[in-house]
Structures are given as C-alpha cells and as structure tokens.
Amino acid sequence: MSQVEMLPRYELYINGAPTPPIVADYFPTQNPYTGKDWALIARGSAADVDRAVGAARLAFEDGPWPTFSASRRGALLRRVAELIVAHAPRLARIEQRDNGKVAAEVLTQVNYLAEYFHYYAGLADKVQGDVIPTDKAGVLAFTRHEPKGVVAIITPWNSPLTLTSWKLAPALAAGCTVVIKPSEFTSASMLEFAALFSEAGYPPGVVNVVTGFGEEVGVPLVNHPDVAHIGFTGGEIAGQKIYEAAARGLKTVTLELGGKSPNIVFDDADLERAMLGAVSGIFAAAGQTCQAGSRLLVQRSIHDAFVQRLVEFASAARLGDPTDASTQIGPIATRPQFEKIMSYIEIARAEGARCVLGGRARREFGGGQFIEPTIFVDVDNRMRIAQEEVFGPVLAVIPFDDEADAVRIANDVQFGLAAGVWTRSLQRALYVIERVKAGTIWVNNYRATSYTSPFGGYKRSGIGRESGVDAIREYLETKCVWLSSELDVVNPFVRR
C-alpha cells in the first residue's frame, strides 16, 4: 500500500449514510501549513449527483419529512445547534487542516454556527401567510408559503461550514431538502458535519453531500431537473456559469460573489481604531475573505502618517502554524490561490504601485505556502490591483481629497459587497452611507456579520441576501388560494 492509500478516506454522504462513489475514485486533500496530503476525498460524478438528488427528492415528497410540522423542523435545528457546540473543537480542527485558518478565528466561527441554527429554529414556525382583502365578493383569498423543493448548495474553501450554514439553516427551516457540494479543497469538515444531521434525527435524504470538482459535480448538480434553487458562494466565473445554467432551467438562485471593498478613513477618525480596522479588513484570514477591505481610501492630509503607522503595526504580525494560538496570519489555503496572489503582487509592481510592506512568499514555516502582509501605495484606482479581487493579504492604498472624491473612488469598481467608513462626523458617515453602492456598510468598525443581519452584494458581488428574517424567503414559494362561498351558478365565459 502506498502512503497515499493509507490516508483516512472520506465517502460521499447520501441518504443519511457514508456512500462510496459509483466510480471508485478518490483525490487527496492537502494541509496548506505542511503542504502534505492528509486525507482522501471521494470523487463524485454526475451519477452520484443523480443518486443524491434522487434521495433528496424522495425525502421531500415522501416519508416523514413532509409531514413534520414547522415546529418540529425547528426542534431538529435546535438539536443540530447543540451538536455543533459539542463537536466544535473537532470540526474546527478538521476545517483548519484543510484551509489553514488560524486557531482563534476558526473555533469562534464554528461555535458561532450554532447561533444560525438557533435563529432559524425559532423562525421555522413563524413564517405566516396573509389573508388578502380582495376586491371580489364571496371569496376568501390567502397565501401559503411552501418549500421550493431540492436545494443545491455550492460553497468555496475559505469558510466552508459557515458559508454552507448560511444557506442550510434557512433551507431546512423552510422544509426543503438539500444536496451540498463543498469546495474540492475543503470537503472533510462538511462530511463530518453532515453526519451530525443523522445524529440529530433528520430523516435520510434530507441532507446529502457530494464531494468532487466543479465540472464533475457542480455542473450536473446545477443542471439537474429536480433541483429547484441554487445557493452559491464563490467566484464570479463560476457564479456566471451557474446563473446561465439556472436561466436555462428557470431556477432561482442566490449568488454571493466577490468584492473589492473600500475602507474609507477620514482625517477626523479615531486613527488608531481605524488603523486596526484596516488591518482586520485585509490581514485577518490572510485576506482570504470576500468582504476584505482590499482598497484602503485615506484622506490625503493624513495619508503618509496613517500608512506609516499601519506598516509599523502590520509588520509585527505573526505568521506561522495556524494551530498555535499566538499565530495571527496562517498559510494561503490552496496552491492555485497562492500563485494568483503572487501574480497580483507582480502586476501591482508592473503597474507602478510602490510596495511599502511585504510582497514576498515565505516558506520557512511548516513547508506550506505563506505570503507576507503586503501594502501598496501610489495606487491609482484604475490599476488592476485596485479593480480586481486578489483574495489575499494585499492592500491597495489610495488617497482622496474630500467626501465626494471618496465616494467617487469607492463606487468606481464593478463590485459592491461591502464598505467601511471611519469618521467622528455623523454627516460624513451618512453622506457615504447614502451614496456608496454596497450591501453592507460598517461605520467605525469592519467585518462584523451576524445571523440576524442581511448579507449580500450590489452590482457584480451577487444576487439576493443571506441571513436575517428575509433569507428564509429564498427557499419558499408563495401560493395564493381562493376559497369561494358562491352558491349561485356563474357565467363561465365572464371573468369575475
């Protein structure tokens, strides 16, 4: 047996049980800190997708799930929340082994998932229809909200369990069944997570996971005629392909895509807090977050002093083993992502931006792929480093003159996921809030998200919103019912 064959194996998860793929093929998954393979993941195919969607459809139409009251669905979600807390350290370790997220952040994130399940547990039996006061006599019209059916959930590698739960908790609260396709780089935590749903008492087929690659699993899943809705988080290219496929099948979608978010610092801000906000915006999670504040807009009067303080602070950030509690910046999660970030550092240099911090790959830790916190100044907003998502620890600093200039630069980009504003002036903050086109605006803070609050993008950052009360609507159809009390015979050729 070769060393690779001796690694632990993860199967697909279909109909409530680990299930080997039809074509008995597995691919290795790496630990980005060591650069070594640590497990084998089942390589799903279109035939596996067909099995999983078949199981999800059967569970949706038949068996106990459709007979469960909304309150009972809520009780199951609460049980999942309890299991998440019980298993959080183990799930966090597995996720970290796949994507290299630092200890403090990954454990906090996994524990916090329980709150999403509690929130939608509470919401499950509070989705109410309306009685419609129609203009017609002798009828009672009312609406019912019914689950859409089988939902496909497709997620990236940066926060696998979190981004899945943003879709999974409301989908299950609504009464849908799901087939999840995690990123090929981070499948293990999702497979461990899926087993908790059987433990919680979900009927087989309600939650299924098919691991594998975008073309081999994602494409057939999106195109499957029995999939009613697609919840996707990931890059713009895959997002566009999914939207096109969904249009052909006339399916609904929620798309959470990329960003190039402006973090705007005015000269009257609490500059130390703003500096920490800039660090959190771009260097937390090594910049591998969709909401990264990757364009730092600094008012010209404070630009040089602010950058100097930022460089001083960021240069002391500790890179290293993500399992070590004192590490602040872990490895880049995947090899292709590492190469992409390094190529953007070269692009920025070639465009004439000046690197005042970092800019180099580091290999002395663990053997995996690290990139130093990197800051570019002399950036013009038309440069590629200011327009394109890098998804790494690379900051582009752009000066601005006044409020109107800041807003112009902030909006001069194709994305609209988020923005930050740092000021003590209410007028300035409101001026920006009213004008910047982004789904989230943080004032004097950066990077907060919650199960209570809608999250999503303007422009090319996506379609729809996740989290909060309205997110459950993405998984529901509205049916309007007309009940007649008419006793007389009516003329069938005249519309009432």
- Interface with ligand NAD in residues 128-157 (CB under 6 A): 154-157
Least separation in angstroms between residue 482's CB and ligand NAD is: 39
- The verdict on 256 binding ligand NAD (CB under 6 A) reads yes
Torsion (CA) 392, 396, 397, 400 in degrees, nearest 10:
-130
Q: Distance between CA atoms of 456 and 255, rounded to whole angstroms?
A: 8
Q: Which residues pair with residue 233 across a beta bridge?
A: 256
Least separation in angstroms between residue 25's CB and ligand NAD is: 16
Is the Cβ of residue 218 or residue 373 nearer to ligand NAD in the bound state? Answer: 218
Is the Cβ of residue 370 or residue 455 nearer to ligand NAD in the bound state? Answer: 455
The correct pick among 21, 160, 175, 234 for binding ligand NAD (CB under 6 A) is 234
Options 290, 389, 403, 474, the catalytic residue: 290
CB atoms inside a 10 Å sphere around CB 69: 11
Site size with ligand NAD, rule: CB under 6 A: 29
Instruction: Report helix, strand or coil for 17.
Output: strand
The correct pick among 235, 347, 405, 431 for binding ligand NAD (CB under 6 A) is 235
- For residue 256, indicate whether it is catalytic: yes
Least separation in angstroms between residue 163's CB and ligand NAD is: 6
- The verdict on 219 binding ligand NAD (CB under 6 A) reads yes
End-to-end CA distance of the chain: 76
Is the Cβ of residue 231 or residue 320 nearer to ligand NAD in the bound state? Answer: 231
- For residue 290, indicate whether it is catalytic: yes
- The DSSP code for 455 is B
- The verdict on 158 binding ligand NAD (CB under 6 A) reads yes
The correct pick among 209, 222, 275, 397 for binding ligand NAD (CB under 6 A) is 222
- The DSSP code for 215 is I
- Interface with ligand NAD in residues 177-206 (CB under 6 A): 181, 183-184
Supply 413's token pair.
């980009």
What is the torsional sign of CA 145, 146, 152, 156? Answer: positive
Query: DSSP secondary structure string, 24-80?
Result: --EEEEEETTTTEEEEEEE---HHHHHHHHHHHHHHHHSSSGGGS-HHHHHHHHHHH
- The verdict on 391 binding ligand NAD (CB under 6 A) reads yes
Is the Cβ of residue 203 or residue 392 nearer to ligand NAD in the bound state? Answer: 392
Is the Cβ of residue 277 or residue 392 nearer to ligand NAD in the bound state? Answer: 392
Of 257, 236, 279, 234, the closest CA to residue 395 belongs to: 279
Q: Distance between CA atoms of 131 and 355, rounded to whole angstroms?
A: 62
- The verdict on 11 binding ligand NAD (CB under 6 A) reads no
- The verdict on 389 binding ligand NAD (CB under 6 A) reads yes
Using only C-alpha atoms, what is the Rg of the chain? Answer: 24
| Tokens 């950058």 found at | 307
Where along the sequence are the contacts to ligand NAD (CB under 6 A)?
A: 154-158, 163, 181, 183-184, 213-214, 218-219, 222, 233-235, 238, 241-242, 256-259, 290, 389, 391, 417, 462
Active-site positions?
Answer: 256, 290
